[in-house]
Amino acid sequence: MGSEWEDKSKPHRNIVFIGHVDHGKSTTVGRLLLDSGHIEEHIIEKNEKLAAEQGKAGFGLAYVMDGLKEERERGITIDVAHKEFFTPKFYWTIIDAPGHRDFVKNMITGASQADTAVLLCAANDGVNAQTREHAFLAKVLGVKALIVHINKMDISGVDWSEDKYKEAKSQVSDLLKRAGFKPDDVPMIPASSLNGDNVYKKSDKCPWYSGPTLFEAIDSMPAPDKPTDKPLRLPIQDVYKIGGIGTVPVGKIETGTLNAGKTVVFNPSQKSAEVKSIEMHHTMVEKAEPGDNVGFNVRGLSATDIRRGDVAGYTDTAPTFVRHDETFVGQIQLMDIPKAVSVGYTPVFHAHTAQVAVRFQELLEKTSKGQKEANPSFLKTGDAALIRFAPTKPMAIEQMDKFPELSRFAIRDMGKTVAAGVCLKIEKKA
């Protein structure tokens, strides 16, 4: 069954659903796809039957995205799932990202592929640890357009109360301000995804709300710029070995155009190969542009020659990487750090699809409560700082002034995001 708006020639966009565990991400996606005609009712009924058998009655909608057996058993999303979706203006890929804290690494991969995010916040629960973490990460990872879905308005104790909605909205607005978004530009929709209120269909439960449904808000998001004039930058998310075809790296193009027949280099692996063919959503294409999720077959490379975290570009404008004996200078904002940190601290940096342990080599400057201090001896939660970093192994990253899309990173330690930042200057050795 196809959607009435199905047309793959429309501008292509990526959207990710983020937020705290159990705030209804997978159910929202399932409801959106069902009510807008992208999936048939009988699939939901089959899923619901399966869910009930597994003691998860009411999870039928969520099962649309939660395909892995383990996810179904645990009732949570583990890996990143993809689904096609159409609105009157756009052709979307939905990326359903996990909310559970154990799986933030996968969420980062999901959000780094998206230009639009839907942040879920349950009206009965408000802003939680993952809500905060995901809002900051969305900003760092380059998500430009944001929608807030205030879910579970039907739940007992909320009962579609305008005051409860305003309370949740105020909490989220404070959070978005801190994360660097402008709350006034962000639609905040009171909804019940389980029952379909304000997802695709307008609800009659909240006469006090006159804004868009989730579907309408998604369709009206401003389209991102497509930097086709820049050199090619394609961070690799996975590499597959496919029988009869060969090695197929997959990822989302950030800048430039990928053309079949041209030679690309993968850095930091420093392997190059000709692009034999390009595929998008099971369709062969001759070229692909920024925002497109692609798989492409490369001639003469094995699946072990390249890896997740590599970035593909053309040989004459090869992607920049920092070797383990080189450094880069970055600006960071500390969000939640358990103790003070200083030189020698080596957490994991998540930049596009790369995950590399990076050492704090020199603290150049910190700003705390508006006061600047040169060469501080330590940093704590809330500080902003300028730091010289040294990766423990080669890492693909770009300068903010040249490729902002690949300059951002999140810093994680002890199972949570402790800081976010951008690379300002790469210090290459001659």
Is the entire prediction scored with pTM above 0.75?
no
The per-residue pLDDT for 43 is 58
Which amino acid appears at position 294 of this protein?
Answer: V
Number of H helices, E strands in the chain: 7, 24
Which amino acid appears at position 37 of this protein?
Answer: G
Contact 58, 158 (CB under 8 A): no
For the chain, the domains span: 12-219, 234-317, 321-427
- From the list 216, 215, 197, the residue with the least C-alpha distance to 207 is 197
Environment class of residue 303 by beta-carbon count within 10 Å: exposed (0-12), middle (13-18) or buried (19+)? Answer: middle
The per-residue pLDDT for 246 is 87
Q: H helices of 189-274, where?
A: 214-219
* Pair of tokens at residue 281: 């959503």
* CA-to-CA separations, 360 to 66, 363, 389, 429, in angstroms, rounded: 38, 7, 5, 18
Hey, CA dihedral for 69, 72, 73, 77, is it positive or negative?
A: positive
Environment class of residue 185 by beta-carbon count within 10 Å: exposed (0-12), middle (13-18) or buried (19+)? Answer: exposed
The per-residue pLDDT for 25 is 76
The per-residue pLDDT for 99 is 41
The per-residue pLDDT for 66 is 44
d(CA 340, CA 100): 26
CA atoms within 13 A on the CB side of 345: 24
The b-or-e profile of 231-262 (16+ CB within 10 A means b, else e) is bbbbbbbebeeeeeebbbbbbbbbbbbbebee
Contact 368, 383 (CB under 8 A): yes
Strand partners, 201: 197
Superfamily classification of domain 12-219: P-loop containing nucleotide triphosphate hydrolases (3.40.50.300)
Residue stretches of the chain with pLDDT short of 70:
1-3, 21, 23, 40-82, 96-113, 141, 281
The per-residue pLDDT for 58 is 47
Q: H helices of 54-99, where?
A: 69-74
Q: In CATH terms, are 234-317 and 321-427 the same topology?
A: yes
Identify the CATH number of the domain defined by range 321-427. 2.40.30.10
| Separation of CA 368 from chain center | 29
Tens digit of each residue's pLDDT (9 = 90 or more) over 389-418:
999 999 999 998 999 888 888 888 888 888
Instruction: Please tell me the class of the 234-317 domain.
Output: mainly beta
- Categorise residue 117: left if φ over 0, alpha if ψ from -120 to 50, beta otherwise: beta
